[in-house]
A = this chain, B = another copy of it.
Amino acid sequence: MDEQSVGIVTPRVARFEKPLTFSCGKRLHGWELVYETYGELNASASNAILICHALSGHHHAAGRHAPDERKPGWWDACIGPGKPIDTRRFFVVSLNNLGGCHGSTGPRSTQPGTGQPWGPDFPQPQVGDWVDSQALLADHLGIDCWAAVIGGSLGGMQAMSWALRYPERLRHCVAIAAALRLSAQNIAFNEIARRAILADPGFAGGHYLREGTQPTQGLALARMVGHITYLSDDAMALRFGRELKSDDPGDHEFQVESYLRYQGAQFSSVFDANTYILMTRALDLFDLAADAGGDATAAFEKTACEFLVLSFSTDWRFAPARSREIVDALLAAERPVSYAEIEAAEGHDGFLLPIPRYLDILEAYLRRVKT
């Protein structure tokens, strides 16, 4: 096993008997969070870092569940001994959010009193609800204050929300490829993804588990929308160009089409459609400044931590301009903030990739974080 890997990891489950009230007013009773940890919590519990996942992410961020697992966790490039989020210094916690489909309570869990899966009736979580549930997980783990809360995309929104809701419970907030709120275009892309799922007869109004059907095509289409828009135009051109799949002049399929079809089919076999709807909706509804009358500066004035904001040059769904809005609001609120725009061809997907300058900046920043 690679020296810089956290090695074999085993997920754990934390169960909470106290009901959690979502911002929509609905309550969750007897809920569970699945999570992983990497590294050791120190005696003063001052070296803990929370990783918040994005749209289709989960708790398995680093290492492998078994030696023969094909791929490591989704952020293995960043987390491990000697990596930017260095597990020799930090105790790293990564969870699956409520409403997810990887082990935490969500649409696939049994709805109390019905014996049936929640399905489409699972309450709509918002980013703040996730943060509240993560705060209870921190209590459960004996962590009063995170050394840092880190996330990319929707995860970056959670990290910023932590700084607003629990200003005394984190010392650093790292928001990567995030935004104060989605643009109309972003909402529209999410709406296409949702419509594709809803229109699939296999979706069965969200009751596909009960009905024994699967919205395979709809979920695959939703994933295709994500795939295209999270990559840059240049990255797609580099990867696929206009190559046809076959030399048969009657076969007009381009490589990019068959790739998307394959990726879409793969995704629909491992992800839950109701979760996809909930997660995209949470993205749409996030508005950092909503409770401050739309004024992000006023919102950030409540925060007490330091910030690192990162963006990627070719990311057009969470463009550098969106990150600069975060930075500008933080500066106006006189909060300490570092910012870097990473030159990279990979679009929004850049935040998941081992881009040297990106890892270097993250490492340098975290080296300054006291444990």
With contacts A184-B239, A236-B184, A240-B184 taken as known, whether A284 is within 8 angstroms of B252 at the C-beta atoms is yes
Measured between beta carbons, the chain B residues less than 8 angstroms from A242 are 181-182, 184, 187, 287
Q: Decide: B185 and A233 in contact? CB cutoff 8 A.
A: yes
Q: Decide: B224 and A185 in contact? CB cutoff 8 A.
A: no
State the number of copies, please: 2
Measured between beta carbons, the chain B residues less than 8 angstroms from A200 are 199
Measured between beta carbons, the chain B residues less than 8 angstroms from A274 are none
Measured between beta carbons, the chain B residues less than 8 angstroms from A181 are 242
Count how many chain A residues have C-beta atoms less than 8 Å from C-beta atoms of the other chain.
Answer: 46
Q: Specify the main secondary structure of chain A where it touches its partner.
A: helix
Tell me, in angstroms, the Cα distance from A249 to B191 when the chains sit together. Answer: 19
Measured between beta carbons, the chain B residues less than 8 angstroms from A221 are 192, 195-196, 199, 221
Measured between C-beta atoms, what is the minimum distance from A109 to chain B in Å?
22
Measured between beta carbons, the chain B residues less than 8 angstroms from A14 are none
Q: Decide: B250 and A185 in contact? CB cutoff 8 A.
A: no
Tell me, in angstroms, the Cα distance from A284 to B196 when the chains sit together. Answer: 22
Q: Decide: A256 and B224 in contact? CB cutoff 8 A.
A: no
Q: Decide: B124 and A192 in contact? CB cutoff 8 A.
A: no
A188 in contact (CB, < 8 A): yes
* Known contacts A199-B200, A221-B221; 4 further A-B pairs (Cβ under 8 A): A188-B256, A191-B257, A192-B221, A252-B285
Measured between C-beta atoms, what is the minimum distance from A265 to chain B in Å?
11
Query: Which of B224, B236, B254, B281 touches A195 (beta carbons < 8 Å)?
Result: B224
Q: Decide: B187 and A254 in contact? CB cutoff 8 A.
A: yes
Measured between beta carbons, the chain B residues less than 8 angstroms from A184 are 233, 236-237, 239-242, 254, 256
Tell me, in angstroms, the Cα distance from A225 to B189 when the chains sit together. Answer: 8
A228 in contact (CB, < 8 A): yes
Tell me, in angstroms, the Cα distance from A327 to B227 when the chains sit together. Answer: 32
